Structure formats: C-alpha cells, structure tokens
Amino acid sequence: MRPVLPDVDALVVDALRDGLDGAQVRVLWPADWADQLPMVVARRVPGGRSDARGIDVALIDVQAVAHDRREASRLARVARVALADACRRQFRGPDGYLTRFEDVIGPAEIRTGEPTAGPDLFRFQATYRVTARPI
C-alpha cells in the first residue's frame, strides 16, 4: 500500500503553536475571532504537489491578526521564523513531519476581505511552501 499523505494543516498548526507564545493558532476563523486576538490562521491553499511516496509539497496561507498594526506585523514575522525553524528541525506530528520551507509571498498587510480591517483590526498575510513527509 502507498503511504498516506501527512495532515499538513495539523502539522503546521501544531508547529506554530509550539513556536508562538501568546497567540491563538487556528486552521479556520472562529465565530468569536475578535475575542481571540492576537491570532494566527494557517491553512493549506490550492497548489503544490505530492508523489507516490507520500511526500507532500504544500502551499500554506498564514494570516496574523491583532488589534494593533505593529503587533500584527511582528506576529506575522515571528510566525514565519517559527514555521521555518520547525521545518529546519523536522517538526514531527502523529502521521508525518515537516522538512523544507520556502517563502512564496509576504508577509504583507491586507486591508480587504473577511474579517474586515478597521482601526482596531490589522491583518498580515503570507504564503509559504512547506514539504511534509509521512512517518
């Protein structure tokens, strides 16, 4: 039987939780997101590739959100370092581990989309390419 692809969303979220202090880390926006700031929302987006060995090269959207622009910017930059370090040290989860990290876009401030930006909500977004391998 061919290896099953690792759960990249779970690996990335667990790696970010391990590397970030004081911020909620989620895959999806919770209904009460405004009460949970600062927060990082990280999930796989379309793109990337996988192979028969179970190696998955995934594009990951990472959004850092806070009430203050400087805090949101710093959170985005710290999340980048945390994810890159997790890949470098081959962060391991229940069904796989992270290996390679590559910047694709960002982090950069976004002022459109949901949730709507405002005077007390700032959001920075970045896209990274990570490789996950099965155990």
Q: For the domain that residue 129 is a member of, what is the CATH number?
A: 3.30.2000.30
Q: Which residue's structure tokens are 């155990």?
A: 135
- Cα 55 to chain center, whole Å? 18
User: What CA–CA distance (Å, rounded) separates 20 from 54?
Assistant: 28
From first CA to last CA, the distance across the chain in angstroms is 14
pLDDT computed for residue 122 by the predictor: 95
In a domain, 3, yes or no: no
For the record, the structure tokens of 24 come out as 């909620």
User: In the prediction, which pLDDT does 1 show?
Assistant: 73
Is 95 a domain residue?
Answer: yes
Q: What is the pLDDT of residue 92?
A: 98
| Residue 92 resides in a domain | yes
Q: Which residues fall within 8 angstroms of residue 79, CB to CB, at 6 or more apart?
A: 16, 19, 20, 23, 40, 42, 62, 64, 107, 126
Domain encompassing residue 122: 8-134
Radius of gyration of the chain (CA): 15
Strand partners, 92: 97
The total domain count for the chain is: 1
1 falls within a domain: no
pLDDT for position 44 = 97
Distance CA 118, CA 78 (A): 23
Give mean pLDDT in consecutive 10-residue pieces for the chain, a chain of 135 residues: 90 97 94 93 93 92 96 98 98 96 96 79 96 95
Q: Within a domain: residue 50?
A: yes
Is residue 67 a part of any domain in this protein?
A: yes
Q: Within a domain: residue 94? A: yes
Task: Please state whether the predicted TM-score (pTM) of the whole model is above 0.75.
Answer: yes
| Pairing, β 122-134 against β 56-66 | antiparallel
